[in-house]
Amino acid sequence: TRQKLARLRRLPAELSSGERVELQANMEIPAELPLIAQSGAAGIGLLRTEFLFINAETLPDEFVQERVYREVIEAMGEDCTTIRVLDWGGEKQSEALGNAGFFSGEVDLNPALGLRGLRLLLMHPTVLETQFAAILRASVAGPTRILLPMVTSLGELRTARDLYERLFKRLRRKGVRLPERPPPLGVMIETPAAAISAEALALEADFLAIGTNDLTMYTLAVDRSAAAVARLYDPLHPAVIRLIAETTAAALRLRRPVSLCGEIAGNPRVVPLLMGLGLRSFSMNASAVPRVKQAVRAVSLDECRRFARRVSDEVDPERIARLVDEFSA
């Protein structure tokens, strides 16, 4: 099977009917780079930057961050690296952020609904500026995109974009080497509010990335890490599927790139359904890339669309689970 995997790595990610699909890797720590290179992933669809802040006593400065981002961007060569700015929140306490006075010290009863992701960054814009500046400096090394986490409203995107564009101009005035234009700035669609506002967000964002891990949690009101409700955590719940479908349709209408980077992107049984809903770009654990590629190559677009229509007509989560099992059987 090693040989089979090596052969698969060279084959294109395309449906049996010929349409190309983009399969990229999610990355949490730089040590994953060799595995990502081996997987046949076409770039990084989600670089989580939390690792830079987790074990640090102080916040990593612009140049420390630039070095890390540059290393990843260079390793990806011609393929794109999508870097998500810090997605920190409530229960994930960090010494560096604590030392920098980020958290009030009050106990947060619902950390997932508290100061998290972009909300936190907009409250402490110097952290966001430092990270934007580091990514902008590193982006001369290759194709780069920037992703904003935990967006719930257009105002947040506008504020972040304004800061981003002003920073770009300021760095250029200072004579910093930068790309011709600022790299694309996109938003995560991982709250029901963002999914329902996908069209408005897509009008002002350069791309969308659907994060089904959090989208499932917030849509179903089921904590993604709570054992007691693990059985209720269902990314294929009809309500979640509908939000994925509507987000994708809005992005396609406005001709904005859209990808999906939650755990289900690495599930070869689910990807045909997602392709049937119109998605053509997925980012997943590097280890899942070969088997997802195999699943993509085994089906036609017509089959995917028919499958998606049948699933979209279902309102019972158990029936949907059965349809997904049967499709790949």
Annotated binding-site ranges for phosphoenolpyruvate: 48, 84, 213-214, 224
Of 2-10, 30-38, 102-110, 208-216, which part binds ligand PEP (CB under 6 A)? 208-216
Tally of CB atoms within 10 A around 44: 28
- Residue whose Cβ sits closest to ligand PEP: 211
Distances (CA, A) of 10 to 4, 6, 40, 134, 295: 10, 7, 7, 33, 15
Q: Which of 60, 186, 211, 235 binds Mg ion (CB under 5 A)?
A: 211
Write the CB contacts of 223 (distance below 8 Å, at least 6 apart in sequence).
112, 217, 229
214 binds ligand PEP (CB under 6 A): yes
Stretch that binds ligand PEP, among 2-10, 125-133, 209-217, 297-305 (CB under 6 A): 209-217
**Considering the rule CB under 6 A, would residue 212 count as an interface residue with ligand PEP?**
yes
Burial string for 95-105 (b: 16+ CB within 10 Å, else e) reads ebbeeeebbee
CB burial readout 317-326, b (16+ within 10 A) else e: beebeebbee
* Count of residues that bind ligand PEP according to CB under 6 A: 10
Cα separation, 2 vs 251, whole angstroms: 38
Label residue 114 exposed, middle or buried (CB < 10 Å: 0-12, 13-18, 19+): middle
Please, what is the minimum distance in Å from the beta carbon of residue 148 to Mg ion?
11
214: contact with Mg ion by CB under 5 A: yes
Q: Which does 234 bind (CB under 5 to 8 A by kind): ligand PEP, Mg ion, none?
A: none
Examine residue 213 and tell whether it contacts ligand PEP (CB under 6 A). yes
Active site residues: 261
- Minimum distance from residue 117 beta carbon to ligand PEP (Å): 9
Q: Exactly one of 257, 262, 266, 276 binds ligand PEP (CB under 6 A); which one?
A: 262
Return the HEC string of 239-300: HHHHHHHHHHHHHHHCCCCEEECCHHHHCCCCHHHHHHCCCCEEEEEHHHHHHHHHHHHCCC
- Options 34-42, 77-85, 185-193, 311-319: segment touching Mg ion (CB under 5 A): 185-193
Which region among 6-14, 172-180, 203-211, 309-317 touches Mg ion (by CB under 5 A)?
203-211
Q: Say which residues have a Cβ less than 8 Å from residue 95's Cβ, sequence separation at least 6.
A: 55, 56, 57
- Residue 189: which residues within 8 A CB-CB, separation 6 or more? 151, 195, 198, 201, 208, 209, 210, 211, 215, 247
- When binding is defined by CB under 6 A, the residue of 45, 183, 186, 211 that contacts ligand PEP is 211
Nearest distance from C-beta of residue 9 to Mg ion, angstroms:
28
CB 180 within 8 A of CB 231: no
Residue least distant from Mg ion (Cβ): 214
Smallest separation, CB 119 to Mg ion (Å) = 13
Q: Are 248 and 215 in contact (CB under 8 A)?
A: no
48, interface contact from ligand PEP, Mg ion, none, CB < 5-8 Å by kind:
ligand PEP
The smaller minimum CB distance to ligand PEP, of residues 213 and 328, is found at 213
- Contact between 24 and ligand PEP (CB under 6 A)? no
The residue within the footprint of Mg ion, chosen from 22, 32, 156, 190 (CB under 5 A), is: 190
Dist. CA 11–CA 297, nearest whole Å: 9
Instruction: Write out the residues near ligand PEP by the rule CB under 6 A.
Output: 46, 48, 87, 190, 211-214, 261-262
Q: Which residues bind Mg ion (CB under 5 A)?
A: 190, 211, 214
